[in-house]
Structure 1
């Protein structure tokens, strides 16, 4: 058997060596301009021989653009690691000379009830490898760009005359670079298809994600990452008719193209969108048939969550198309479909890229008319909402309000200042802390997608989350049934609130904890060696009621003079966009400033566990919120070394979802017993329970399949998954975990089935799901029953230390601003819990 495998391998390697030149990939019924450099001439190897590194990919695209009058290249920004975010515009030289007029005419067709699309070019956005370790896309991008620049056939010239191609060769430069390093450094001279080889098992966290380990294909709607920001700007600048998103999937799969499962399409997506997607799919099928590649469609994947690249265009008048190629994950690997080589995967991606362009050219008028009608129909829907608006805000937190407005701005959604303070449905909206969105506007369907709450669904299975209601994610009050008469001026230049200190004091300063960036301010204060305390009760002074969690900074006995302290706090207030109040007396209505109800705070010294066994998404979200949002230092401790790491320099350690080996577990247990605070999330609760940190009482859901056939068993099990929904919990605002929240209800994001029983003492349940907690999204009745009145948070003593547990992710995908403060409260006020 081993001999046979070796023979097959040698034959395959020989075949690969013969087929990795351009003739393996490119159509041979055309000539190619010799003045256009081939990929090999620039990168130093044949496409598919090695994994392209991002720097070489950039070099090739830049040289290609200089060599061809069909290509214009721009650098739109940079990643967290400083890599350029390129966009190539590829079309005929004649179109380039009139490109701005073409663009404005294209956009104008989406803004007028009558438009002649007969002679308009179609706009196609082609993007590759948003998951960095799904690298066949970006490697194929070199071939596609070369073909479009160099091919001399009449078909290609006609294509370029009638198409504007927005070409994004690497959606995820940081991840692509990370994966190329791994695959190339583990490549053998004699390629080995054994799936057990190290080449096919990346080191944690892998190349899928960007610098902070985010899945960037979930950020098209939230737009929180630098890569997404420039991409969405390009998208709205052009409103492409087709957008393609080239991915990879498991090695034993073939090739997938959309449409996905019909029953899992979002109801706001027009049916014609899916019909056109299917018609485009016929071109993919024909092209793949020609080269003998297997494929499938209308299975596995869906078009529900609008935050994915293949679905985001569907709510913006375009057609999104997902490609999934069975991955070699390196250079060559065994599969149930035979030996799969890296060049083979690249050729399939290349083929699908060209079939997309052929479909776009041939279906140009139908697809342009579809986009025109999409916005025409949207305007009709919006006109019925004339005079109606949505209001959102937080009267005590301008920053959260600003950041949601920032998302709207990125999506070219119109909104206005609030004319004057306004109250509705028991909620107070304050001018300067609230915005008004008229419903009668161009992007009304996108607004509906962002603000809707949905709890009924055609299907019970979801490829991604089933809910993402933005005001709930940002923890904001909102109402969707107000009049536009409350709207003030339209916001053109969005500015965050300016922070300040009311005046200089020789006694003390007070800082409320409501503002989003209050943790950033407190971290700076404690990090400078200043003393600060937190108020455990409400009080009133100078005519103002200060809420639970107010921070007190005394003037006396500090390491700064009163003058220097004032100057320092002015900078802190400005940097953190909040108000700090000077007071001249410690006498208040309620607890006085010298009361023991003001608890002294110590500077957090925080570490987070990362590495094998830990869910990288969760860890990256926490790292990001510390590093990018709050400017707080956090040490990443790898599970490989944790068993022998001296943990005494930390007072707080965070365990994201996951588990560790016995040696690491024992070290963490000893550290916690000796006074540390351990904060654990999601599946780490099971690890805590198994290793006797504490005994958690879990509520178990009993599932019994009745009248379920063998064929339906997978769907039955899948329907019990909480893929991502939003639930309501009650808050005891006097408990430190809830400091800074003004309401007694909070929206929590949940995508797991870990249910904790409440404590018998009600004061030990400061966060508790309501009896009917579902706000938006899908959950099975069995799981909803288990979730009802369960608790998402517990704080327990563990000898001299403390263990704080969260069942839910408080930092989800960087846009769940509304619950970030729960983690910050657990860190800063850990000693009071």
Structure 2
């Protein structure tokens, strides 16, 4: 066994301090949560630090992290590291728990664990006793599921202060990576809500305001994203820090503490046996079930109701309990019935906040026991899983002429520790290579066959399809004869020609970030035009596609030197090489740069995003994040109930995300109709598009999917729930076909574009033959589960319809183009709608 355990901590004495009286109506001892042990008195309990017992109030993130820092300063069993910051600049913390002797050799032990977990042939199977097990323990990735984050101080105290007779073997044989709050911003938002609405004389009535949060609620992060869907896309700082630490430690077990509906009990993995991703090894589920016996025994001891083996699943690798499974780690989901505040009525009696915390503490401690006793099995499984996953095959991904979009995919792959290489394909075009591993195979390959038709989340997640990038599998490693270099996170900078233009600058349309460049140029005060025709200069040596932006030097309100300075800054910020010309002439066949018919002046987008009320906070947050973080466009988040009273004239673009609009006040439609006019663009997504059609803001006709069960007259009652679930489209990938001459498709290279869709809302193509620039292919299903008959119904339907209204444009999307911030293949179309929507010809709208 690797070195040692420490001697028992010595008691320290200090002058007794008077205990501050809290506002709690209940005297709850530490032993309500933790075993009755001889804890180290030199280490403060949570109650001693806070002045109130855990469960009396919802802990805010600042208090939680302050206590964690106090523990780290008080105990030689813990090292605290700050692994990142949230959007709101809150620290993301990890506490590393092990013995002092192990801390003295921590890096050596980490490397020993990695060498075992990622075998390269140098470590021998007989060395398992010398390898530390690693547990990654994380809490409350959903901020309004707070029992986990409130349990974290108690669990951390236990690890720091319990006698070695209790935790010595755990800490000497293992390393615990402890993440007390996966989502600090959401946790803090919810703690503030629950505490500020708590009654002194608590009510258990679920109608009370304490239990009904205001929009967007505390589940999500700053941009209203569900971080438990971001383990695969890694688009947010919380996820990026967490994934980096995951791969730094390669844990054997990762636990993820959640909450569910108030009327439930307590769930622990495994979940539905028919809904496990086929890339997950069967032994993973066997170990999950074996660990579950420890949780069952612990919950039996305190008399808590629980269940397992149903409801939740291990299919989507973007969740915290499933992502680990594709790396030989056992991911464990805990779901505790939620009090959503301090006290609620439930089907199982009164549910108190302290009770929910106690269950989380109990299963955190039972995880320690499982790790201590199953460590050799867990280490052996991880080693064999990763060794068996080694191949000489890989994938070549073509950049498709879009360096920005391809670079973003490479960044995602690099964050998952895939050794990405950058180079050229056999046609001399930019490409990337990644080896085939269990993770890359799961993240690349489409899936069309399923054991079950029900899914807790999406049924597919092919990354190259999300980016609309061609890829192919190759054998024997990176293709020889091509130039490959190791890719580093952030990418290889584009070579930029700094020459100054005397006549005009061009922003090529092929790069994903060209719209960002255009906006920055506009924001700096430059007039920008766009070409709807392809052209070339320099006798064909330099070609430009539709959507190329032109910045003339003449006629601007600043000097040529100042224009050059601005252009250079935009090049640096976007990585786009903005090209130059010293003449208004183009090659034969093209229209000269002064042509009014080929070049239209672009208005600078002034954007309002409708939020609150019946809008979907997830969809609104995706749009907010896209514009604010990725494209640097300021937006106004306008409450939808204020639309009828707001001055809309200051906006030329209004975005209505998906939502529930059946009972929306008529004043919203009236105000939007009055606002519509020349240069105005109204963008609607999914059910917002259907609402716009019903209220005279879009010319759309819904297509009703065929019902393949219409001839069935009798089914067993017991099948009703599963039959209903089988008709749900939770998330699949469909093929669409595009009109690449249309302004919404500027910059795209191929007419085939994969789109993500959920739900069964369909629209008929427009009667105007030019007004449906994107429609579903005749055989549209590319990957994922599709309800029986739906793909046939979707064939040929409209994915985008453009309507005209009082000189303005309504651009209706049938599917969400901004799904989870990583569907780069279609959010380019959304950005084109914002920047170029007003240029769509009036003869080409419905």
Q: TM-score, normalised by structure 2?
A: 0.92
State the secondary structure of the residue aligned to 2:454: coil
Deviation at 1:692, TM superposition (A): 3.1
State the secondary structure of the residue aligned to 1:826: helix
Within 5 Å, give how 1:207-226 maps onto structure 2: 207-226=218-237
- Measured in 2, the distance between the counterparts of 1:395 and 1:682 equals 28
- Measured in 2, the distance between the counterparts of 1:774 and 1:19 equals 59
Within 5 Å, give how 1:353-752 maps onto structure 2: 353-379=364-390, 382=391, 386=392, 388-418=393-423, 420-423=424-427, 430=429, 433-439=430-436, 444-481=437-474, 484-486=478-480, 487-491=482-486, 493-494=488-489, 495-498=491-494, 500-501=496-497, 503-542=499-538, 543=540, 544-588=542-586, 589=588, 590-595=590-595, 596-658=597-659, 659=661, 660-672=664-676, 676-703=680-707, 704=709, 706=712, 708-752=715-759
Structure 1 vs Structure 2 CA RMSD: 1.6
Q: Structure 1, residues 310-335: CA drift from partner, whole Å, max 9, x if none? A: 00110001000000000000000000
Deviation at 1:499, TM superposition (A): 6.0
Deviation at 1:461, TM superposition (A): 0.9
- Measured in 2, the distance between the counterparts of 1:421 and 1:601 equals 36
Distance change >3 Å, CA 317–CA 697, structure 1 → 2: same
Number of the residue aligned with 1:754:
761
Number of the residue aligned with 2:28:
20
Counterpart of 2:53 (choices 46, 53, 77) is 46
Deviation at 1:668, TM superposition (A): 2.0
Within 5 Å, give how 1:173-212 maps onto structure 2: 173-212=184-223
Number of the residue aligned with 2:343:
332
The question of whether the paired residues in 2 share the 8 Å contact of 1:810 and 1:822 is answered with: yes
State the secondary structure of the residue aligned to 2:763: coil
State the secondary structure of the residue aligned to 2:369: helix
The question of whether the paired residues in 2 share the 8 Å contact of 1:414 and 1:490 is answered with: no
Deviation at 1:490, TM superposition (A): 4.2
- Structure 1: runs of 5+ lacking an equivalent: 1-15, 424-428
The question of whether the paired residues in 2 share the 8 Å contact of 1:498 and 1:574 is answered with: no
- Measured in 1, the distance between the counterparts of 2:405 and 2:294 equals 46
Counterpart of 1:142 (choices 145, 153, 163) is 153
Q: Give every structure 1 segment of 4 or more consecutive aligned residues whose post-TM-superposition deviation is greater than 4 Å.
A: 16-19
State the secondary structure of the residue aligned to 1:82: coil
State the secondary structure of the residue aligned to 1:582: strand
The question of whether the paired residues in 2 share the 8 Å contact of 1:132 and 1:172 is answered with: yes
Deviation at 1:664, TM superposition (A): 2.7
State the secondary structure of the residue aligned to 1:320: strand
State the secondary structure of the residue aligned to 1:461: coil
State the secondary structure of the residue aligned to 1:246: strand
- Measured in 2, the distance between the counterparts of 1:373 and 1:438 equals 18
Counterpart of 1:260 (choices 267, 271, 282) is 271
Deviation at 1:471, TM superposition (A): 1.0
The question of whether the paired residues in 2 share the 8 Å contact of 1:21 and 1:47 is answered with: no
Q: How many residues align?
A: 799
Q: Structure 1, residues 702-744: CA drift from partner, whole Å, max 9, x if none? A: 4326363211112112112111111111111111010010111
- Measured in 1, the distance between the counterparts of 2:697 and 2:603 equals 25
- Measured in 1, the distance between the counterparts of 2:355 and 2:161 equals 22
State the secondary structure of the residue aligned to 1:166: strand
- Structure 2: runs of 5+ lacking an equivalent: 1-23, 841-846
- Measured in 1, the distance between the counterparts of 2:484 and 2:747 equals 30
Number of the residue aligned with 1:13:
none
Deviation at 1:64, TM superposition (A): 0.6
Distance change >3 Å, CA 695–CA 490, structure 1 → 2: closer
Bigger mean CA offset, 582-591 vs 464-473: 582-591
The question of whether the paired residues in 2 share the 8 Å contact of 1:257 and 1:281 is answered with: yes
The question of whether the paired residues in 1 share the 8 Å contact of 2:780 and 2:795 is answered with: yes
- Measured in 1, the distance between the counterparts of 2:332 and 2:210 equals 30
The question of whether the paired residues in 2 share the 8 Å contact of 1:501 and 1:570 is answered with: no
Residues 1:73 and 2:80 are matched in the alignment? yes
Number of the residue aligned with 1:9:
none
State the secondary structure of the residue aligned to 1:118: helix
Bigger mean CA offset, 741-750 vs 165-174: 741-750
- Measured in 2, the distance between the counterparts of 1:20 and 1:88 equals 27
Q: Structure 1, residues 327-351: CA drift from partner, whole Å, max 9, x if none? A: 0000000001000000000000000
Q: Structure 1, residues 566-613: CA drift from partner, whole Å, max 9, x if none? A: 121111112111121111222223122111221111111111001121
Counterpart of 1:811 (choices 813, 818, 824) is 818
State the secondary structure of the residue aligned to 1:618: helix
- Measured in 1, the distance between the counterparts of 2:409 and 2:231 equals 14
The question of whether the paired residues in 2 share the 8 Å contact of 1:465 and 1:723 is answered with: yes
The question of whether the paired residues in 2 share the 8 Å contact of 1:501 and 1:573 is answered with: no
State the secondary structure of the residue aligned to 2:702: coil
- Measured in 1, the distance between the counterparts of 2:444 and 2:472 equals 10
Q: Structure 1, residues 214-233: CA drift from partner, whole Å, max 9, x if none? A: 10001111111101111111
Distance change >3 Å, CA 19–CA 347, structure 1 → 2: farther
Distance change >3 Å, CA 766–CA 585, structure 1 → 2: same
- Measured in 2, the distance between the counterparts of 1:19 and 1:699 equals 61
The question of whether the paired residues in 2 share the 8 Å contact of 1:499 and 1:576 is answered with: no
- Measured in 1, the distance between the counterparts of 2:698 and 2:248 equals 54
Number of the residue aligned with 1:124:
135
Number of the residue aligned with 2:7:
none
The question of whether the paired residues in 2 share the 8 Å contact of 1:20 and 1:49 is answered with: no
Residues 1:64 and 2:71 are matched in the alignment? yes
Deviation at 1:674, TM superposition (A): 7.4
The question of whether the paired residues in 2 share the 8 Å contact of 1:499 and 1:573 is answered with: no
- Measured in 2, the distance between the counterparts of 1:438 and 1:522 equals 36
- Measured in 2, the distance between the counterparts of 1:489 and 1:541 equals 31
State the secondary structure of the residue aligned to 1:614: coil
Deviation at 1:153, TM superposition (A): 5.0
Bigger mean CA offset, 480-489 vs 631-640: 480-489
Q: TM-score, normalised by structure 1?
A: 0.94
Number of the residue aligned with 1:6:
none
Distance change >3 Å, CA 300–CA 235, structure 1 → 2: same
Deviation at 1:18, TM superposition (A): 4.2
The question of whether the paired residues in 2 share the 8 Å contact of 1:501 and 1:569 is answered with: no
Deviation at 1:817, TM superposition (A): 1.4
